[in-house]
Structure 1
């Protein structure tokens, strides 16, 4: 596959110097480069355009690379991923718990070896995309119930960043579509409470399972 702008790459790293270095290295070879300082920034950019390859650091604030790459595999299973970090001695192996197609060890390889890694991934991209499965990526899902004050709540999972968060609700809620902002990335989450299934004791009037309608864009 030729190195042309048809191979857009997104570099995600909170280290500005490393982000710029990797970007210049790949841009010099003809790849179309965009950058993001963390996982939330990357997901925001991907609302407008999804890259063919993501190169992401693992140790980042707000959303770690581990969580970010988990989100990517579930939402964008065809996107190729290279994880990078300087915290692992096994320079050629993908660390346990990291959902990626390849691993680049910062500081232990010549930066130009990254070019070879990128080219190899694009060359085998078709077979790798078929092998990706959404089930391989974990999502954190707390259980519904009542908080310490006895107030009922539901657990929403944001359809943009895939983080879950509790939301207190009234026992008088109706089966209509509602919206609330994600407490992490502020995307609007649209949901409806399904009264046909209960997560509480059948003797109590409580909350029901939540079905998601997708997040609003704009």
Structure 2
């Protein structure tokens, strides 16, 4: 498609025949890949994209461009899609990045893993008493799992005794920590979002 492919091929928005049409300018800018800086990167795209964000925040909807096969769908999520090769961990699931220790037995527990960093719950913010929304874990391949009692992070300031006790005791159920070979953490953004598709294929998610 001429409009959406202009930037991807190194063209300039002002070279497109529909450069004076706001809706088509948005389509052109949306066609700029993230590897090339994304929709706001070209100098000519800033005003059109700022206009779009203002329209969306005020409920004016998505502008139209008659020559475009781009469509949008409203979404209600504070997170971007997980990167290729990863999937979103369940909300509240404890995860850790690491590898299994050489020679470790299948049921050796936490000592059977060489962790990278500290276990964390996906989408739960430790600093606010596990209130949503915290960073979302996008996980790779599962390495294994182990169980612990208490708070798996080991951070005494973040411990929340699920049985309501704060005297150092804990008699609740064990917490399962699943270990993955790599984890990408996505920071929450505005939950107001639109997914952009071109010819039926997902392109990007915009938060506003």
Q: TM-score scaled to structure 2, two decimals?
A: 0.27
Q: TM-score scaled to structure 1, two decimals?
A: 0.26
